[in-house]
Structure 1
């Protein structure tokens, strides 16, 4: 009799996941919004250094519709399937759940039997998403123990209602419905993560669709109308339990990265910009005396710049802001990577003491002013470090350069193309660009990266390292 075994890419603990085989390929969201003849798609990039096609796009899956604006996407299942309170050990990490944040359409992409040749297994049309979930503009996908969780930026009526989270069935991918039971005054949405052992979900805030779809709205930014709060939820009861306001000047609280070890009840949040001085910041959440607390632990200042070198949106400020748009935490909870999309820098911080991060390394590429090239790129580069993904062993970091189509055009008005690079990591701290790895996607822009078998922003672990 055949024995059922968990997917070999599922690991009980983060430390065990760090011993997994190296990734051989990446799935990358390819964006062509506004190009009437070219849909978005998924590109497969060869990451095997022993392969003759290393560092090349080895397959392109184009989607059947135009202007989906692929953004964040995720696996259908991951190591959280081993969690004891809602175990699903016989799921497979097989399907990519790919939202179109502009179209509100969901694609289910099958990566088997040939992981280099993914195919569309199902399309969930926007009418179904909105009718069953009450939400629109699906954004971030996380594989939970009991379902697939998807955050959404808007309501089914557009700007009239709050953004939030809805669920997909693990097996059929049917839309189950909205996740929240009691949301309190939570209205804006963006990222979400959790501490499974603490029955806590954490969510952040960006904006309503009218505040991002056509670009950054300057008067809303200066009026401090973008998100600036963090929400803590009872994960089982699906009720808002606590909200912390970081201060209205801290605009756009985006990516959340909890510690991977379930014994640790802290995590990091990135703030894009301060309206006081254009700085960006990283905040630490932690629990003390039975309540969640937030503390700013990193400030990244804006850099003075000649107005002639700045796009119209920044000329009056005579400075280029860091614009922290993504953060990522290595599986051993030691290194936090911070992408400064505006200045063109990727920072590596040693967060062994999460209350006192130390800058351990930095690379410079792209940037609004510098446009720093890669060793394999002859021309100045538009864009900067944006979506960051870390290999499970923590030795390699990959990143792409596009944030969101209309924002790309505001801050990099010379018509950005797409590129992906790799950074090599010293185990004791320090990073450097791999001079031989540079993937040029031409006019197609690229965003989220997912690695074969999982990565450092995919999995949740219920067992200590």
Structure 2
């Protein structure tokens, strides 16, 4: 079976991972604790999305981790038996069992020595499934600046190795287009071409600083990533450091067997970028479209590419809008639709069949908007190829849950390639 056989899994998942068959049954929301809201702790919130369930669109379980460490991203192991959820501030990683009872995740292990084991990496940014192991991009280091690394663990939570990002002082054999800043964010693999892409954000000194204060500091604004790195995946060897200014964030590889390209968006310059292999086998990066009006600084954040590689959803945090692009010609994307999701919006998760999308609101605890503009929600929509229609919405503040960030799909029905 190929990855295309799965009919409902989230489109951004690792190609090495067991996939869902049929529609997703649960959505797991990795949620930032918020002082004065519920227990104030980071938690996994489980939402029932089984269409005929009496609790459809409702929270059916909530599992707190006993602390507040800036919950951010996470990911499943390749066998999909556990979900790893990371904290940017405390650098802890919580491993949840989601196979014993997919409706009721439970913490079975906490990795508290990530910084020590990795050699000084901080801010674990999610987890990406590789065969028998997890790849964890870091965002920072003990000094709080942006230099960071990729860290590998076994599926049972044992540290394996650290791969530091290339810098101008230590390019590690990579060709450098302009600068090599050593920053990190996302990491994604295209196995059939033996390539991995990484992107770059900023260090802990910036991402744990209040946004209103940060944007008034010219020196701080210079300390954002402006690179993407193409790696020889099997060797874990950086090959090319592309110049991609403006903090490139999420990476989404195309799924088509002839489509050797990936998209990313830049948070500070509001651009959609394409990284692709040309006819001569050389890899290149180029800006291919604006996302919203760059002059208004809408802050593009998460993106989602459809399983047929034809449609891309791009969220802009500042105005709360999701933008839909026709990317059937990846070099010339065209916006075909947009909708305001909320006063702010961050993550978007799309089902494999393209019929359902889920949105969450929180970016970072100190970057979310203040007061009523900082509404916190999970909102679900149907997509018919032309417009979004509401399915359900959950107000996380009213429910006493906190700030919803990253989502992942759960099910009792899986297959492995």
TM-score tier after normalising by the smaller chain length? 0.7 to 0.9
Per the TM alignment, residue 360 of structure 1 is displaced from its structure 2 partner at its CA by 2.6
Does structure 2 retain, via aligned residues, the 8 Å contact 1:23–1:48? yes
Q: Distance in 2 between matches of 1:13 and 1:224?
A: 43
Change (3 A) 1:110 1:223: closer
- Alpha-carbon deviations, 1:280-328, whole Å to 9, x = none? 110111112332111211103438xxxxxxxxxxxxxxx7422111101
Report the counterpart of residue 283 of structure 1 in structure 2: 273
Per the TM alignment, residue 33 of structure 1 is displaced from its structure 2 partner at its CA by 4.3
Q: Which has the higher contact order (CA 8 A, sep 6+)?
A: 2
RMSD: 2.4
Runs of 4+ in 1 over 4 A off after TM superposition: 33-37, 180-183, 220-223
Report the counterpart of residue 433 of structure 1 in structure 2: 389
| Local SS of the residue matching 1:73 | strand
- 2:6 equivalent to 1:17: yes
Report the counterpart of residue 68 of structure 2 in structure 1: 67
Change (3 A) 1:168 1:345: same
Match of 1:204 among 182, 199, 206: 199
Match of 2:235 among 234, 237, 240: 237
Report the counterpart of residue 99 of structure 2 in structure 1: 112
- Alpha-carbon deviations, 1:12-71, whole Å to 9, x = none? 42321127300111100121144595211000001012011111101111112x221111
**Structure 1 segment 48-127 matched on structure 2, within 5 A:** 48-64=50-66, 66-77=67-78, 92-125=79-112
- Alpha-carbon deviations, 1:406-461, whole Å to 9, x = none? 000xx4454724211112111xx222131x4011111511000001159xxxx9x9
| Local SS of the residue matching 2:24 | coil
Does structure 1 retain, via aligned residues, the 8 Å contact 2:148–2:165? no
Report the counterpart of residue 260 of structure 1 in structure 2: 255
Q: Distance in 2 between matches of 1:438 and 1:448?
A: 16
Per the TM alignment, residue 399 of structure 1 is displaced from its structure 2 partner at its CA by 0.7
- Alpha-carbon deviations, 1:177-216, whole Å to 9, x = none? 2135976145111111121111111111100110111134
| Local SS of the residue matching 1:210 | helix
Q: Distance in 2 between matches of 1:423 and 1:160?
A: 38
Report the counterpart of residue 293 of structure 2 in structure 1: 302
Change (3 A) 1:215 1:440: same
Change (3 A) 1:351 1:323: same
Q: Give the paired residue count.
A: 383
Report the counterpart of residue 266 of structure 2 in structure 1: 271
For normalisation by structure 1, the TM-score amounts to 0.77
Report the counterpart of residue 185 of structure 2 in structure 1: 190
For normalisation by structure 2, the TM-score amounts to 0.86
Match of 1:177 among 138, 155, 161: 161
| Local SS of the residue matching 1:407 | coil
| Local SS of the residue matching 1:71 | strand
Does structure 1 retain, via aligned residues, the 8 Å contact 2:291–2:314? no
Change (3 A) 1:176 1:186: farther
Report the counterpart of residue 151 of structure 1 in structure 2: 137
Change (3 A) 1:151 1:222: closer
Does structure 2 retain, via aligned residues, the 8 Å contact 1:138–1:151? yes
Unaligned runs of 5+ in 2: 9-20, 172-179
